[in-house]
Amino acid sequence: MKVIRFPKCNYNCIFCFEDKEALAEPIISIKDNEKLLITGGEPFCSSKLKSVLEECKRKKAKLKIQTNASILYSEGNVKYLEKFKDMIEEIIIGFHSHEPRIYAEITQTNFYDKVIQALHNLSKSKLNITVNHTLIKQNYLYALDFLKFIKEKFPRIKKIYMTFVYPSGNALQNVEDVMPKISDTKDIVKNCIMYSKDNGLQLEFISCGIPGYPLCFLRSYFSIEELNKICQHVIQKGNNALDFNNVKFKICEGCTFNDTCAGVPQQYVDIYGETEFKNN
Ligand code: SF4
């Protein structure tokens, strides 16, 4: 899948992994029937997005769009997007807290109400919507409440991607403030998986090309088959810890997931050490 990244963003999330200053404006060339992920930054901040959508339509491309959704508080913008509904497979909304105070703290915006309005607009549309929720120190304790909020307020949203903060961009600058200890999160993640199973939500871990959640922390709770199913986006043969400047441990040699796990970031080990992995 080709990725088109628009660098501009109207947010400045404290856990953002993009090095936005290093991102150049994309050179757009779209082939017939191509599959594309349009992301950022925030794609809806780009004046080029409309022409890209029109070009995608001409080329019969299929799209996924990642957005913070703030610009979709306008019903007109959602109606415009609906014109492309046959080629947009998924709109993935980065929504990292249902608590207004935490949302403001982690996104450094006052756009919470706009995003809630956008979620209502999108829920009424014919577009396929999913939510992406990154676990960081500020929100992980509330992850189960977050799922309950989505189920109750936005029942049309059935699929939720959960990611673990990755130390790059702002997240690297703020690494000690935003990166939780994985063992502190594992019971909450377990509860999220069980709640999703019992309540018809499809919870998946996504890696966006970067490592997700090390499955060794969950293997006492779920079968390997269950974990592979939930983590289908992370578990891809060919992931290589070295590609990400990540590390593996002695215990990884005997781990079922060793071939497909990308390990954990060096910065994680610098903060929390290796002990958690010895006891896993
Ligand atoms: S390979 Fe290592 S880090 Fe990855 S899941 Fe297994 S034990 Fe954990």
Query: What CATH number is associated with residue 40?
Result: 3.20.20.70
Does residue 147 lie within any of the structural domains? Answer: yes
Task: Write phi, then psi, for 211 (nearest 5 degrees).
Answer: -65, 150
- Per-residue pLDDT tens over the stretch 206-247: 655 565 788 899 999 999 888 888 876 544 545 455 556 788
- The pLDDT assigned to 206 comes to 65
- The pLDDT assigned to 197 comes to 93
Does residue 66 lie within any of the structural domains? Answer: yes
List residues near ligand 1 (CB under 6 A).
214-216, 248-249, 251-252, 255, 257-258, 261, 263-264, 280
What distance in Å separates the CA atoms of residue 87 and residue 190, rounded to the nearest whole number? 35
Task: Write phi, then psi, for 127 (nearest 5 degrees).
Answer: -80, 150
- The pLDDT assigned to 235 comes to 44
Q: Given ligand 1 and candidates 164, 215, 224, which is best to mutate, with the most ligand atoms within 8 Å of its CB? A: 215
Can you point out the beta strands (E) in 52-154? 62-67, 88-94, 129-135
Q: Please tell me the pTM assigned to this model.
A: 0.92
Report the number of distinct structural domains present in the chain: 1
What distance in Å separates the CA atoms of residue 180 and residue 135, rounded to the nearest whole number? 8
Domain that holds residue 155: 2-206
Does residue 263 lie within any of the structural domains? Answer: no
Q: What are the residue ranges in the chain where pLDDT is below 50?
A: 234-235, 237, 239
Task: Write phi, then psi, for 165 (nearest 5 degrees).
Answer: -50, 140
Task: Write phi, then psi, for 87 (nearest 5 degrees).
Answer: -105, -10
What distance in Å separates the CA atoms of residue 36 and residue 122, rounded to the nearest whole number? 21
Question: 214 C-alpha vs ligand 1 centroid, how far in Å?
Answer: 6
Tell me how far CA of residue 122 lies from CA of 47, 132, 142, in angstroms.
21, 15, 24
What distance in Å separates the CA atoms of residue 53 and residue 59, rounded to the nearest whole number? 10
Structure tokens at 218: 């969950």
Q: Given ligand 1 and candidates 257, 275, 279, which is best to mutate, with the most ligand atoms within 8 Å of its CB? A: 257
Q: Given ligand 1 and candidates 261, 269, 276, which is best to mutate, with the most ligand atoms within 8 Å of its CB? A: 261
Q: Which residue minimizes the CA distance to atom 1 of ligand 1?
A: 258
- The pLDDT assigned to 82 comes to 96
- The pLDDT assigned to 26 comes to 73
Does residue 251 lie within any of the structural domains? Answer: no
Question: 87 C-alpha vs ligand 1 centroid, how far in Å?
Answer: 37
- The pLDDT assigned to 257 comes to 83
CB neighbourhood size of 144 (10 A): 18
Does residue 278 lie within any of the structural domains? Answer: no
Question: 91 C-alpha vs ligand 1 centroid, how far in Å?
Answer: 31
- The pLDDT assigned to 107 comes to 97
